[in-house]
């Protein structure tokens, strides 16, 4: 006999008493989860709540202490990724798992189960793999050329490739998507939502994690909230009663008042001036950022915002233009020079640029701070440890100790370490690229407070963000880019979401 729900449908997957621990500490504590065909479940919770760990058990990545899993009425053992796959369970990971120096087609072929598809052989059989990749990409609405190297793609495009790769295996019944929209701007997140709804309508059970609450409301048929490894609540977002506030309070376990700090009223003299900056797709950008000011940088994906930040920080070469800090012309040939002039840069892709995953928190924090935290060139280990503890405390990084390798922290907590790492450096200018990507609401408020404090201490802040609410909530002025060029700079009074969007899509221009 099969258990059925009220509507008479049997769950495609039922997991009971899932328990996962690391180093003797339980991070998922006896969680029950039922998934039905043709439904979307949003799994919400703070950074470190155990969302990814729960999903990884279902995908056969982590082996749980205990778990009773039933797929289509049959008790199964999900001992490995290929086991899980053979039961129709696929996962798109939070940190993308693509190989940069292989092509899109090769990456998709590698995701296929040997035996059910061409597997490794497809990497050799180029023509077939390109055709297959094309079909898989079409399914997710991507127009990426399968022959492109993955390393050349934007994060949004890589995300599409990941999903195509997950769907390329045979007969997917359960699709687990861990923060698939965190690297996507609004419009592309919308596209992904439509794709998820199409997959649901085709009968899949889809589980998605996200830190954007409105998104959970828009996409999900059911919302499941986790806190500290426990499942604490379930909601029906479409019952007309459930409010966003209720969900936020349930997931952080306290009431959240205001998200953004009060606006700063005093700005000083010009700290950073960019003159005729060109390089890559960036063309002739002129900007000033004053001491104590937060200048927001908005635009659509591909507008050249990250590229501009990389030029300023010396990651990519300038073809023309100059950078001035406190009225002094700088010669920046690489990030090391940039740091010397008092610049800090928190990059968008933490896995690639921001962290050494195999090293612990303490070591990661110390990298840009070596000069400051050492006396006469000798590093004080005790001081280092206490700094690491401070940073963990002020950003509420959820970790067992500062000795924990950064790669084993939850995604949002890794982001907090990147922030802590750069926030501690003395500098004139701080450039932040999508600083709250993948960070939960509670921690977002703490990060906003930290950014505000840095600005108030006299640092000029350049804040790149695709989150309109964040851009408007944090910035004193907002510069908008499109196609590598500056479209205009909006003063406080002029700022509105519609106006920024028009500038970003080049529907309007400012004198
Ligand atoms: N491989 C691992 N080794 C040690 N600890 C781990 C490992 N994987 C996860 N953890 C710990 O388990 C806890 C839960 O992490 P998990 O990644 O499941 O959180 P999450 O809810 O997905 O958070 P986020 O929203 O930040 O992605 C964290 O404290 C994390 O450090
Ligand atoms: Mg996670």
Name the residue with the closest Cα to ligand 1, atom 7.
408
Contact predicate 11/173, CB 8 Å:
no
Better-predicted residue by pLDDT, 346 or 354? 346
Task: Answer yes or no: is 31 within a domain.
Answer: no
Q: Which residue has the tokens 């949002």?
A: 412
Residue 1 has pLDDT above 80, yes or no: no
User: Is the predicted pLDDT of residue 52 greater than 60, yes or no?
Assistant: yes
- Domain span at 308: 270-504
Nearest-Å Rg of the Cα atoms of the chain is 24
Q: Band of the pLDDT at 332, cuts 50, 70, 90?
A: very high
Ligand 2 centre from 48 Cα, in Å? Answer: 7
Q: How far apart are CA 171 and CA 480, in angstroms?
A: 44
**Considering only CA atoms, which of 80, 88, 45, 75 is closest in space to residue 64?**
80
Tokens read off for 84: 């899980």
pLDDT at 115: 42
Residue 370 has pLDDT above 50, yes or no: yes
Give the whole-angstrom CA distance, residue 178 versus residue 207: 8
Model confidence at 188: pLDDT above 80:
no
31, 47, 48, best to mutate for ligand 1 pocket (most atoms within 8 Å of CB):
48
pLDDT at 302: 77
pLDDT at 2 (0 to 100): 44
Does the residue 53 lie in any domain?
Answer: no
Would 54 be classed as within a structural domain? no
Interval between CA 50 and ligand 1 midpoint (Å):
6
* Residue 373 pLDDT: 52
Chain segment 211-266, per-residue pLDDT in tens:
888 899 999 999 999 998 999 999 999 999 998 888 888 887 777 667 889 888 88
Are 271 and 475 within 8 A, CB to CB?
no
Nearest bound ligand to the CA of residue 412 = 1
Q: Looking at the predicted structure, is the pLDDT value of residue 377 above 50?
A: no
**Residue 506 reports pLDDT greater than 80:** no
Q: What is the mean pLDDT of residues 333-360?
A: 81
Which residues are registered as beta bridge partners of 287? Answer: 274
218 neighbors 200 (Cβ within 8 angstroms) = no
Taking the alpha carbons at both ends of the chain, their separation in whole angstroms is 72
pLDDT tens profile 474-503: 999 999 998 899 999 998 778 777 777 777
**307 occurs within a structural domain:** yes
Query: 509 pLDDT exceeds 90?
Result: no
Does residue 288 form part of some domain?
A: yes
pLDDT on residue 111: 67
Provide the token pair at 309: 């930040």
Nearest ligand, measured from the Cα of 415: 1
Cα-flanking dihedrals φ and ψ of residue 106, to 5°? -65, -40
Q: What is the pLDDT of residues 88-145, one digit of tens each?
A: 999 998 777 888 899 999 888 886 644 444 455 545 567 778 888 898 898 888 889 9
In a domain, 360, yes or no: yes
Q: What residue owns the CA closest to ligand 1's atom 3? A: 408
Q: Is residue 227 part of a domain?
A: no
pLDDT tens-digit map of 191-205? 889 989 999 999 999
Mutate which of 25, 28, 44, 53 to test ligand 1's pocket (most atoms within 8 Å of Cβ)? 53
* Helix extents (H) in 299-396: 305-312, 335-340, 361-366, 370-373, 381-394
| Percent of the chain surpassing pLDDT 70 | 88
Q: Give the per-residue pLDDT at 469.
A: 83
What is the CA(351)–ligand 2 centre distance, in A? Answer: 14
Ligand nearest to the CA of 444: 1
Query: CB within 6 Å of ligand 1 — which residues?
Result: 22, 27, 45, 47-53, 94, 398, 408-413, 440
Q: Residue 117 has what pLDDT? A: 47
Q: Give the ligand 1 atom nearest the CA of 226.
A: 21
Per-residue model confidence (pLDDT) at position 353: 62
pLDDT reported for residue 321: 97
Smallest-distance ligand from the CA of 44: 1
Would you say residue 464 lies in a domain? yes
Task: Tell me how many domains the chain contains.
Answer: 1
What mean pLDDT is reported for the chain? 85
Q: What CATH number does the domain containing 464 carry?
A: 3.40.50.300
- Tell me how far the alpha carbon of residue 172 lies from the centroid of ligand 1, in angstroms: 25
Q: Which of 77-81, 120-124, 388-392 has the lowest mean pLDDT?
A: 120-124
Q: What are phi and psi of 430, to 5 degrees?
A: -125, 125
pTM: 0.73
Q: What is the mean pLDDT of residues 390-419?
A: 80
**Are 488 and 509 contacting, i.e. CB atoms less than 8 angstroms apart?**
yes
Probe residue for ligand 1, chosen from 232, 351, 410 as the CB with the greatest number of ligand atoms within 8 Å: 410
Residue 263 is predicted with a pLDDT of 84
- Cα 300 to ligand 1 centroid, rounded to whole Å: 31
pLDDT of residue 355: 75
């Amino acid at each position: 006999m099969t258990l059925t729900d009220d509507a008479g449908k049997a769950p495609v997957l039922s997991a009971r008493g899932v328990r996962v621990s690391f180093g003797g500490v339980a991070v998922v504590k006896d969680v029950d989860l039922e998934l039905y065909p043709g439904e979307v479940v949003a799994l919400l919770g703070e950074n470190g709540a155990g969302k990814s760990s729960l999903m990884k058990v279902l995908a056969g990545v982590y082996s749980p202490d205990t778990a009773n899993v039933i797929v289509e009425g049959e008790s199964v053992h999900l001992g490995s990724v290929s086991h899980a796959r053979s039961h129709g369970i696929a996962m798109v990971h939070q940190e993308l798992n693509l190989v940069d120096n292989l092509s899109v087609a090769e990456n998709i072929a590698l995701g296929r189960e040997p035996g059910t598809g061409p597997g490794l052989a497809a990497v050799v059989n180029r023509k077939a793999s390109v055709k297959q990749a094309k079909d898989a990409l079409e399914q997710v609405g991507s127009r990426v050329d399968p022959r492109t190297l993955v390393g050349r793609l934007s994060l949004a495009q890589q995300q599409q490739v990941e999903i195509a790769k997950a769907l390329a295996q045979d007969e997917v019944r359960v699709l687990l998507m861990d923060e698939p929209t965190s690297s996507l701007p609004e419009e592309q997140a919308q596209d992904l939502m439509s794709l998820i709804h199409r997959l649901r309508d085709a009968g899949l059970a889809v589980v998605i994690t996200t830190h954007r609450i409105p998104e959970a409301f828009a996409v999900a048929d059911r919302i499941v909230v986790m806190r500290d490894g426990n499942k604490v609540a379930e909601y029906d977002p479409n019952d007309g009663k459930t409010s966003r506030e209720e969900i936020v309070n349930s997931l952080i376990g306290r009431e959240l008042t205001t998200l953004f700090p009060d606006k700063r009223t005093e700005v000083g003299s010009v700290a950073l001036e960019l003159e005729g900056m060109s390089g890559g797709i960036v063309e002739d950008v002129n900007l000033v950022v004053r001491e104590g000011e937060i200048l927001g940088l908005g635009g659509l994906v591909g507008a050249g915002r990250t590229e501009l930040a990389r030029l300023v920080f010396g990651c990519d070469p300038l073809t023309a233009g100059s950078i001035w800090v406190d009225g002094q012309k700088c010669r920046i040939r690489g990030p090391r020079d940039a740091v010397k002039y008092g610049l800090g840069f928190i990059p968008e892709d933490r896995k690639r640029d921001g962290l050494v995953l195999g090293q612990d928190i303490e070591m990661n924090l110390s990298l840009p701070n070596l000069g400051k935290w050492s006396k006469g060139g000798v590093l004080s280990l005790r001081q280092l440890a206490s700094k690491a503890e401070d940073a963990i405390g002020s950003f509420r990084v959820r970790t067992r100790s500062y000795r924990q390798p950064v790669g084993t922290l939850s995604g949002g907590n890794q982001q907090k370490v990147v922030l802590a790492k750069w926030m501690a450096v003395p500098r004139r200018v701080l450039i932040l690229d999508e600083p709250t990507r993948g960070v939960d609401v509670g921690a977002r408020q703490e990060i906003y407070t930290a950014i505000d404090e840095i600005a108030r201490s006299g640092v000029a802040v350049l804040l790149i963000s695709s989150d309109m609410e964040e851009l408007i909530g944090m910035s004193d002025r907002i510069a908008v880019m499109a196609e590598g060029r500056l479209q205009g700079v909006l003063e406080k009074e002029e700022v509105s979401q519609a106006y920024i969007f028009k500038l970003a899509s080049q529907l309007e221009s400012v004198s």
